[in-house]
Amino acid sequence: MQISSLFSKGKTVFSLEIFPPKRSNGGINTIYKTLDGLSEVKPDFISCTYGAGGNIADLSTVEICSIIKEKYDIIPLAHLTCVNSVKSDIDYILSSLKDKGIENILALRGDKNPDLEPKNDFHYAYELIQYIKKDWDFNISSVCYPECHPECDSLYDDIMHLKTKVNEGAEHLISQLFFDNRCFYDFVEKARLAGINVPIEAGIMPIVNKSQIERMVSLCGASIPPKFSKMMSRFGNNPEAIRDAGIAYAIDQIVDLITNGVDGIHLYTMNNPYVAKRIFNAINNLR
């Protein structure tokens, strides 16, 4: 089933994101435990990140998406980055996805790997979307940044670049994480004014430990509302308290987003079913 068609059903779409487990953590086999737990949440779809930074196309995302589809009967969304790949790598992944009957791709640029020789086949995500659309019939999703992509000088320019991705064929967007819903509402308003009319899911990351907040904020530059920083300083040294406060904060964000008519909620699960289940149990009747 095509992900973009989920949004015409008049309810808030609820999706989850996982990543392929590292080999040092038991490898792909450990994903069953994660998915056993997450499938209880009955998400509309599950996306799986793509981590290949080298020149060999990595099939773990394809394998995990196939497990999501075949064993759990849930729609998979396969992330795919392009900046560190040449066209033949992308062709290999696309035909592997096709062979497994996977219909949905989250098309991304990815981050350049400073340790690798730059590849010049793709520079931006819109080129990947163009490339896929030329010869394949995948349903394409893409990503957006409520507080602007860190490499872009203005939100206006970033939204214009986003519009290119939609014009090239992205039919659904997932946002970068944010902790201040007002940033998301302002962004959606600007995107709509710019003529971007595809569904925009809000990316929510429950912060459940102190190191996660430091890492996430330095990576994506999300602004921190005073309520959130107070919470961190009050509970930051108590692991159970910070976990419960982080879950409560995410639930609060989600309730507000659903109340305000968001198209969908995309939960960054960090492969943690316990957290996803607690959040889901709190908002299930709101979907």
CB of residue 61 vs ligand FAD: minimum separation in angstroms?
8
Q: Does 213 bind ligand FAD (CB under 6 A)?
A: no
Task: Say how many C-beta atoms besides its own lie within 10 A of residue 103's C-beta.
Answer: 17
Q: In the complex, what is the shortest distance from the CB of residue 110 to ligand FAD, in angstroms, rounded to a whole number? A: 4
Catalytic residues: 17
Alpha carbon distance 279, 98 (integer Å): 33
Q: Among residue numbers 61 through 100, which ones bind ligand FAD (CB under 6 A)?
A: 79, 81
CB nearer ligand FAD, residue 109 or residue 243? 109
Contact 70, 39 (CB under 8 A): no
Residue span 26-45 as binding mask against ligand FAD, x where in contact by CB under 6 A, dash where not: --------------------
Q: Which residue's CB is nearer to ligand FAD, number 49 or number 271?
A: 49
Beta carbon of residue 145, minimum distance to ligand FAD (angstroms, whole number): 7
CB atoms within 10 A of CB 224: 14
Under the binding rule (CB under 6 A), the answer on residue 243 touching ligand FAD is no
Cβ contact 253:179 at 8 Å: yes
50 binds ligand FAD (CB under 6 A): yes
What CA–CA distance (Å, rounded) separates 64 from 61? Answer: 5
The smaller minimum CB distance to ligand FAD, of residues 149 and 278, is found at 149
- Closest approach of ligand FAD to the CB of residue 140, in Å: 12
Nearer to ligand FAD, 18 or 231 (CB): 18
> CA-CA distance, 237 to 209, in Å (whole number)?
9
Q: What's the CA dihedral at 254, 260, 263, 265 to 10 degrees?
A: 0
Asked if 190 interacts with ligand FAD (CB under 6 A), we say no
Extended strands (E) in the chain: 13-18, 45-48, 75-81, 104-108, 139-144, 173-177, 200-204, 264-268
Q: How many CB atoms lie within 10 A of CB 240?
A: 9
Task: Name the residues that contact ligand FAD, by CB under 6 A.
Answer: 49-51, 79, 81, 108-111, 124-126, 143, 149, 151-152, 158, 161, 165, 174, 176, 203
